[in-house]
Structure 1
Amino acid sequence: MTSLNALTAQDVMTRVVVTVAPDESPLMAWELMRRTGVHHIPVISAGRRLHGLLSTQDLTDSCTGTLADVSRRQVGDLVKSERTPRVRLDRPLDAVAETMLDSARDAVPVVDEHGRVVGVITAVDVLRAVAGRITSEPRHEPGDVHPALFRLQPVL
């Protein structure tokens, strides 16, 4: 087992990441999060550049106004205006935890040296590392980032 002090973001991050584009609908983001069982989804622009990190709370907070108002919104508009915290692959785990605490976030995107999203670290990932339960999954470089590959079509 690797020493806790030696762990980095790359060691503990979730590598398979489902993402949405800034121009996607909140309904699509909600459905993706529901189907994949996640509470945070990176909003990425062209070239896998981080636009922000959308949470279920952001989506819940956006459900105000008329149905027409809600249907015109885009997830890029829902991402909090403050700069989304992010960490690099080589960031030590204790520094990752500090970033999460300082930003009052329970998830943080992981980016490579070019600023591209390659993973996400959640509070559960940090706890898993502290408990010594890091899985020995194969390491994929730079990370498997999957944009939404389906569309929701209105039925009414």
Structure 2
Amino acid sequence: MIDPTTLAARDVMTRVVVTVTPDESPIMAWELMRKGGIHHIPVVGPSRWPHGILSMQDIATSCSGTLADLSRRRVGDLIKSNLTPRVPLDRPLSGVAAVMLDSGHDAVPVVDEQCRAVGVITTVDILRAVAGRITPEPGTASDVHPALFRVEPVT
């Protein structure tokens, strides 16, 4: 069994990450999360700089109105970028957990030395590590994929 006190962010993060940009539609973010079976999606800029993490709960609690109204909103309006912590690849697992607890976030982006998003860690990832259920994930720390299509508002 792996000793969780020896693990760092790079050991437990999800490496293959689908992302959205701040100007993406919340409807698209929701659909990507639903199709991917995930509850959080990193919001990144052109150079993979993390603006924050959007959750399904964020979308559900902040979006109301018609489908046309929702398609005009932007993900960037729903995130609070200055409040989303980022953790480096070498941050010990205990430090990642402390950051999440202190900030009240249940997911954080993992960044490389250039502050580019290279992964994401959720509370489930931490629980898996503590339970000794880490399975090596294929892919490298650079397998971050932007959404490949957009939803345009219907006018």
Gaps of 5+ in 2: none
Please give the alpha-carbon distance, in whole angstroms, between the structure 1 residues aligned to 2:24 and 2:144: 16
**Identity in percent:** 68
Distance 1:2 1:81, change over 3 A: closer
Structure 1 contact 87–108 (Cα < 8 Å) conserved:
yes
Cα distance change on mapping 1:139 and 1:17 into 2, 3 Å: closer
Aligned to 1:11: 11
**TM-score normalised by structure 1 residue count:** 0.90
Structure 1 portions without partners, runs of 5+: none
Counterpart CA distance in 1 for 2:30 and 2:98 is: 28
Matched, 1:108 2:108: yes
What is residue 93 of structure 1 aligned with on the other side?
93
Higher alpha-carbon deviation: 55-64 or 121-130: 55-64
RMSD: 2.0
Pair 1:122–1:149, CA change in 2 (3 A): same
Q: In the alignment, which residue of structure 1 is the partner of 2:130?
A: 130
Give the paired residue count. Answer: 155
Displacement of 1:46: 1.1
Q: In structure 2, what is the Cα distance between the partners aligned to 1:57 and 1:20?
A: 16
Is residue 12–residue 121 contact of structure 1 (8 Å, CA) maintained in 2?
Answer: yes
User: What is the CA deviation profile of residues 87-129 of structure 1, one whole-angstrom value per residue up to 9, with x for unaligned ones?
Assistant: 0000000000001111111111100010000000011110110
| 1:153 shift after superposition | 6.1
Whether the 8 Å CA contact 1:109–1:121 is kept in 2: the answer is yes
Q: Secondary structure at the match of 2:28?
A: helix
Q: What SS class does the counterpart of residue 47 from structure 1 fall into?
A: coil
Measure the CA separation in 2 of the matches of 1:138 and 1:63: 35
Instruction: Name the counterpart of 1:149.
Output: 148
TM-score, normalised on structure 2?
A: 0.91
Runs of 4+ in 1 over 2 A off after TM superposition: 64-71, 80-83, 136-139, 150-156
